[in-house]
Amino acid sequence: MNVSEKIRTLRKSKGMSQEELAGQVNISRQAVSRWENGTALPDADNIVQLSKLFGVTTDYLLMDSYESDEDSPKIKENNKILHANLTSLAIILQATFLNICMLPWEDPNTKVYATVIKVFLLLACSIWMASNHRYEKDLKQRAKNTKIELLYCLIQYVVAVLGYSLHIGFWAGVM
């Protein structure tokens, strides 16, 4: 892979347009286009800026082949730790709200309100979790993750309603 292909690949992996990259490096969009088409090469200062921006070495940008897998750039497409933490936070919030809402209630009027609150909070947390899939760059994986999330929400909703109607309690809603 040559310099122009590497710049294009790295830019796209970061989800940047040519104009955004040009703004980061303080050059024109046309210069970025010339780099990616192979009609021009970035100067030394721009190579250094690009390597810092993309998190790769200058050697990677300039050399046509890379011998070692250890030297290849590690591009973070998704922050998996952040996604896992947000998912965990959403599940904890769901469990907390379900715990509060599924406490035994003596007053029949309060049971109705508790059910409405429980369903609303469950849906709100589930929608929030499902909306995180928009950051997935691979469309097939995004569709798969969304289907899994919707199935999870449906199962959780059914279990919560059954737990409420059968008076099983909090743990039925958490699974």
pLDDT tens-digit map of 75-106: 444 566 666 666 767 776 676 666 665 565 55
Q: Is 68 exposed, middle or buried (0-12, 13-18, 19+ CB in 10 A)?
A: exposed
Task: Tell which of 18, 34, 62 closes a domain.
Answer: 62
**Are residues 158 and 85 part of one domain?**
yes
**Are residues 89 and 34 part of one domain?**
no
pTM, 2 dp: 0.40
User: Distance (Å, rounded) from C-alpha 25 to C-alpha 72?
Assistant: 23
**Token pair 């952040």 is at which residue?**
82
Q: Report pLDDT digits (tens) over 13-37.
A: 888 899 999 998 899 999 999 999 9
- The pLDDT confidence band at residue 111, using thresholds 50, 70 and 90, is low
User: Distance (Å, rounded) from C-alpha 42 to C-alpha 4?
Assistant: 9
* Residues 150-162, mean pLDDT to the nearest whole number: 71
The number of domains in the chain is: 2
The CATH number assigned to the domain holding 28 equals: 1.10.260.40
CA dihedral 94, 151, 143, 7 (to 10 degrees): 40
**Are residues 84 and 52 part of one domain?**
no
Domain that holds residue 8: 3-62
Tell me whether residue 74 is in a domain.
Answer: no
